[in-house]
Structure 1
């Protein structure tokens, strides 16, 4: 959205108001479980291949292991736990 209609990104105060990562980072286990269930459904429906689903699921396991060992990073630009996990997953598995 910000890249389309607006010349600049949101102000610092807007990012602070909008970001929920300090609060919802406690939900990382539930978010990852939901993402794993979602990718399993996508594979079952033939929307993604079983191979891609396994890669994504394994990547989510790797993210979970990082969160367990090091905690959840607080990148306010990513806003919430789902975006934080999605960003890290993409770094681990690349485009799937």
Structure 2
């Protein structure tokens, strides 16, 4: 299973980091994603704008995702060390 996650990236962001985050997720240049998004917005009569606003609220921020991953790793480490101690005490 891939550990790849979609999130907004503030570094290099033009507005909210949505296109930068999508570009990082897809391993593309952010400029290409921005141009595609602009074309979608123009040719869909503004639907791209509404989707962008929705993405601002739906896609989590990079710092939030990193913090959650760190907390999950700490919980896993505590669980693993507790499990190891229980196995040792059984012997």
TM-score by length of 1: 0.29
TM-score by length of 2: 0.30
| Structure holding more helix per residue | 1
For the pair shown, the structure with the greater C-alpha radius of gyration is 2
Q: Which has the higher contact order (CA 8 A, sep 6+)?
A: 1
